[in-house]
Structure 1
Amino acid sequence: MKICPKCGEENSDQSLFCEHCGFEFAKVDESPKRTQGTNLQDFPSSATYTPNKKSVPKWPFIIAGVALLAVVVGVGFAMASRGDNQVVQPSATSSSSSTDTSKYDDIIAEAKEMTINGEYKKSNLKLSRISASDLGKSEFSAIADEVDELTEKNEEGLQQEEDKTAAQKAQEANKPAVTTSGSSSTFSGDYAKWANTYYFYYSQSSQKQSALTIGANGSVTQKNVNGTQYFGEATITSASGNVLSYETNEQYPSDMPDTKSINPNVKITVTWDNGGGTQIYYGYLSYSSRLALTDGVVKNGGVNEVWIS
C-alpha cells in the first residue's frame, strides 16, 4: 500500500496519483529514498508535508440544514394557523351570540287578537308554535312572559265558557223546584236568566274574588284569584226597595266608580258549605244591559261586593 506523503491516506501500490488529494507519487519516487531514522528536515522541499487529516464528509451538514429548514417552516405554519384561529374565533362567537328575538312577534300579535275575540283555543294553538327551548333562554324572557300571560287569560276564558255551558245544561234539565217559605232553589221561568256567571266588578285590596257562577239548580261556585274555590246553594225570590251599588258603565274600572242607589229585581240568598254562613245579593239590570249583583254593604267609601255578568 502507498501512503500519500501529502494527505496521509492509503492508496494501492499501482496508484500513480493519490486517490484522495491527487498528489503525484512519481515525485516521491524520483527523490532519494529515506531510511529509517532520517530527519524530517531532509524531506525534499518540493513536497510539503501535511499532517494526516481525514476529510470530513459534507452530507451530514446538508441533512442537518434540510432538517433545520423543515423545523423553521413547520413552526411558521403553526404560528400562521394559530393566528388565523384567533381571528376567526371572535367572528364565530359573535354570530352565535346574535339571536333574532323578533321572529315570534307575529305569532304573539295574532294570539293576542284571538284572545281578545274570545278564541281561546285558537290562541293557545298559535302560541304552541313558539319553541319551548327558545322560551327557556334568557334573551326570550320578554316573549316567555307574554306567552304566560296570554295562556293564563286563555285558560280563564275557557273555564268561564265551561262554567256557562254547565249552567245552561243545568237550566235545560229544568229540575223540579223545591219551595220553602216562598223561595225557589231553582232558577227557572222568570228567574232563569239569573243563573249565570258573574265577575267581580271593582276589586279592593282586601277582596280576592274572581268569578261567581250560579247554576240553574241553585248550585254556587265562587272562584278566587289565588286559585281557591267556595261552594254553596242559592235560593231566589223577588225583591224591592233601594240598595247601594256602583255605576257600571266601565268594563274594568281601575278607580273606584261612583256609587248609586238601585231598585233590585231579585234577592239571591247563598248558603255557603262547611259553615261558611249566608250571603245576600240583590240582582238588577244595569243601564248597560248587564245583569248585576250587589250586597249593598258600604265599605271603604264604596260597596263591599258588586258583580257583573
Structure 2
Amino acid sequence: MKYCPTCGAENNEQSRFCEQCGYAFETVENTPKRNQGTNLQKNPEPSNQTPNPKGGFPKWLMVLGGVVILAVVVGVGLALAGSSNDEATTPSSTAATLNSTSSSNKIDTSKYDKLIAEAKELTINGEYKKSNLKLSQISASDLGRSEFAEIADEVDELQEKNDDGLKQEDQTTDSSQKAKDSAKSSSGSAFSGDYAKWANTYYFYYSQSSQKQGSLTIGANGSVTQKNVNGTQYFGQATITSASGDVLSYETNDQYPSDMPDTKMINPNVRITVTWDAGSTQTYYGYVSYSSRLALTDGVTKNDGVNEVWIS
C-alpha cells in the first residue's frame, strides 16, 4: 500500500494515480522534489497537512498526551520539593513531637516502691504472711513486663525469704507439739486417778512488788495456763509424779495475807514439772495444807520468803 503525498489517501501499490485526488505518483518518483507545484495549487487542502495513515494516532492527540505527562511530572516534582523543604526547615519541631510522644508513653515504674519497702520491713520483723499479702497487691501483668524486671526480681527474693520463714515457723510448731505429745504419753504425765485432784486452778498466795502472777490453771490433759495481772498469759505442758523430802513453803492459814507469812518446811505429795512454750521449765511441789487446800510451791528462797506459792 502507498499513500498520496497530497491528500494522504491510501492507494494500491500498483496505482499510478491517486484514487482520491488524481495525483500522479510517477511524477513524484521521476521528477525532483519541489516546494510548489500545480498539483498542490489544485489541492483544496493546505499543503502543510501531515499525512495521516489509516489507523494511526492524530498529531493533536499525541501533543495533548505529552502536555498531560509533563504536567504530572512537574506536579510530582513540586510536591517532593515542598516535602523536602518542610523536613529541612522544621527538624526541631519533629524532634519535639517525637520526644512528646515518647514522654507520654513512658511507664511509671516507681508506683510500687512504697509497697516493696513495707513488705521488706515486714519480712525483717518476721511477719512473713503480712509481707506476702503486701506483695500480692502488685499487678501480675506489670511484673511480666520488661520495664518492671527489677521489681519482679525484688518480689521473687522477698517471697522466697517469706516462704523460708513460714517453713521454719511450721517446723518450730511441729517440734513444740511433738514435745507436748511426748510429755502427755510419758509415765506419770496424766492427771488422772490419785493425781486427778491436782488438775485445778491455783492463785498466787503472797504477791511481792516484783511478782505479777495472777492464776495458774492445770488441765486434766496436763495443759497449763498462767494469767498475769497485766493481762499477759503463759502457756505450757505439765507432767506429774510422786515426790518426797522437805521443801520450803509458806504458812497458808490466812486467805489473803497482807504481810509476808512465816515460812516452813513441808513434805510434798507430788512433783509437777511445767515446760513452757518459750522453752523454759519450772518445778512445783504439791501438798495439802492444814486448811485442806491444795498448795503448790517452787521451794526457792526469795527476799526472806518463798519465790512462788500457789493455793487452790
TM-score interval, smaller chain: 0.3 to 0.5
TM-score normalised by L of structure 1? 0.41
Larger radius of gyration: 2
